[in-house]
Chain A
Amino acid sequence: MSDRALAVVRAGALTTVQDLGRPGLAHLGVPRSGALDLPAHLLANRLVGNAPGAATLESTLSGCAVRARHPVTAAVTGAPCAVTVDGAPAPWGAATRVPAGAVLALGPAARGVRSYLALAGGVAVAPVLGSRATDLLSGLGPAPLADGDVLPLGEPGAPPAPADAVPQPAPPAELVLRMRLGPRDDWFTPAALDALATARYRVSPAANRIGLRTEGPPLARARQDELPSEGMVLGAVQVPPDGRPVVFLADHPTTGGYPVAGVVPEADLAAAAQAVPGTPLRFVPLRSAARRAAR
């Protein structure tokens, strides 16, 4: 191992290595995985001069701390948190120089859930099927970080382009998810789908990288038979027998046997990744023109 490496001082509740994941292998049962708040991952990489696919660290609620063995440029994005270098305040959302041997710490998320730590050169653990991402559903990629782990870093590329102010959306006070109805909206009663537009849900404490679980009124089904397994997409709103919608996130299963009432567009999923348990949640069902005509 080269001396470009990082020691994990405090892994926090759940910190994983993430990149752009493993799309294109769903037919083999391989989840796409990858950073849950993709724009935050991309921004962190841009701030330190990394390519978009360089691996970052994704922390969950409680932050993390690492010690670099050599001087390294780092940047923290996503959920806002206190950033310190050897205890001294450092900027969030901007490139920071971390001296050799210094501890870079991310405090607990002040708002939101997931912070992203990019380091120049990227986390360089061995890729699995073209990606370094930790997939919590199937166990592919590196295990979640543990205290004392040592992670190799890659060689930094060109110095980052200067960026003075970078816009970052605040984590939502209310999560609003648009949802294009289908493919199995006809498995639910028209009244249930109409009510979905006005019902108030909340983000469940059981939400994770696999799916954003919700609490709220159950969605009544129009038919009770079993759906043969079918392919699932990112953002699918799957409704298990308890009737509470689950929005599929990056580590979602590739096939499933519960009906999908609609699909949340990818652009809305970064906000879903940052919604803390208890956040009020509203779905905005969109009916496609073809669907409207058919009804």
Chain B
Amino acid sequence: MRILPVGEHALLVELPTGDDALALHAELLRRQAAGTLEPVADIVPAARTVLLDGVGDPAGLAARLPTWPVPPPEADAGESVEIPVRYDGPDLADVAAHWGVAPGEVARIHAGAAFRVAFCGFAPGFGYLTGLAGRYAVPRRASSRTRVPTGSVALAGPYTGVYPRSSPGGWQLIGTTDAVLWDPGRTPAALLAPGTRVRFTDMDMDTDTDTAPSPRERAS
């Protein structure tokens, strides 16, 4: 763990891996909920870091933080969400070629993985989800699309993301969902907040459409 000062009121905690960042983020939220974390305006996890912004005593927190025991994330901790997907994206064949599998296999592999939202960025409610094995990482597209439709399920690097609204984008599109990723009138506004566990389900494999899972279920 390396703690870097950021301006006068923030700390950037750098960790060896993304999983370590997830674990520290979960520990920070636990301490915040328990009232044992000093006031912090923003806790922003990212690929291998957690940013603490709006900290009253950055030097004090930087001294205490390395002494905390941080348990690894529990597999079944946190909110759980299922996202039904039609695996019909325009880059499905390219992704299958990168993976060295038949196009029909992409859905099975993707819907078989257990994901977690590592962090948000790019747009409100755009989550960067980890969970695919390292061998399934794919490059961004050589050229960006000027318009990626709302609900596009996409891959880039080790991450899966779902576009909360139409925007330009360079990720590989493998499918679409009708799930509402972002609704400012809802609490929480983001379906995919950091730490949320996510399963994608293949709608074409869903034989009993009347009992499609609700988009948000509490973890038992």
Contacts and interface: CB of A to CB of B under 8 A. Distances in A.
Interface in B47-81: 47-51, 53-54
Nearest to A128: B184
B134 interface: no
B126 interface: yes
Nearest to B40: A24
A265 B7 contact: yes
B5 A182 contact: yes
Contacts of B122: 29, 253, 255
Contact of B44 (A138, A236, A255, A265): A255
A27 B120 CA distance: 6
Contact of A231 (B53, B124, B128, B188): B53
A229 B157 CA distance: 12
Interface in B1-20: 4-10, 12
Given A183-B5, A260-B6, A26 B123 contact: no
Nearest to B120: A29
B212 interface: no
A24 B41 CA distance: 5
A229 B121 contact: yes
Interface string A19-35: 00001111111100000
B38 interface: no
B120 A233 contact: no
A231 B44 CA distance: 6
B165 to A, nearest CB: 8
Given A230-B51, A236-B7, 15 more contacts: A23-B54, A24-B54, A25-B42, A26-B44, A28-B193, A29-B121, A30-B124, A140-B184, A183-B5, A230-B47, A231-B44, A232-B51, A254-B44, A254-B121, A265-B7
B6 A140 contact: no
A29 B124 contact: yes
B125 interface: yes
Contact of A140 (B41, B124, B126): B124
Contacts of B123: 29, 138
Contacts of B184: 128-129, 140
B7 A27 contact: no
Given A23-B42, A28-B189, A254-B44, A183 B124 contact: no
Q: Chain A at the B interface: mostly helix, strand, loop or mixed?
A: loop
Nearest to A141: B184
B54 to A, nearest CB: 7
A180 interface: yes
B45 interface: yes
Given A23-B54, A255-B44, A180 B121 contact: no
A275 interface: no
Interface in A99-135: 128-129
B42 A180 contact: no
Contacts of A231: 12, 42, 44-46, 49-51, 53
A168 interface: no
B96 interface: no
Interface in A237-295: 253-256, 260, 263-265, 288, 290-291
26 contacts: A23-B54, A25-B42, A27-B44, A28-B124, A28-B189, A28-B190, A29-B122, A29-B125, A30-B124, A129-B184, A138-B123, A138-B124, A140-B124, A182-B4, A183-B5, A230-B46, A231-B42, A231-B50, A232-B51, A233-B7, A236-B7, A254-B44, A255-B120, A255-B122, A263-B10, A288-B5
A222 to B, nearest CB: 16
B48 A228 contact: yes
A235 interface: yes
A180 B8 contact: yes
Given A129-B184, A229-B47, A231-B53, A253 B7 contact: no
B119 interface: yes
Interface in A49-108: none
Residue among A30, A183, A235, A291 with the highest chain B CB neighbour number at 10 A: A183
B7 A263 contact: yes
B7 A29 contact: no
A99 to B, nearest CB: 37
Residue among B43, B120, B190 with the highest chain A CB neighbour number at 10 A: B120
Interface in B114-158: 119-126, 128
Contact of B46 (A25, A255, A288, A291): A255
Contacts of A264: 7
Interface in B181-220: 184, 188-190, 193-194
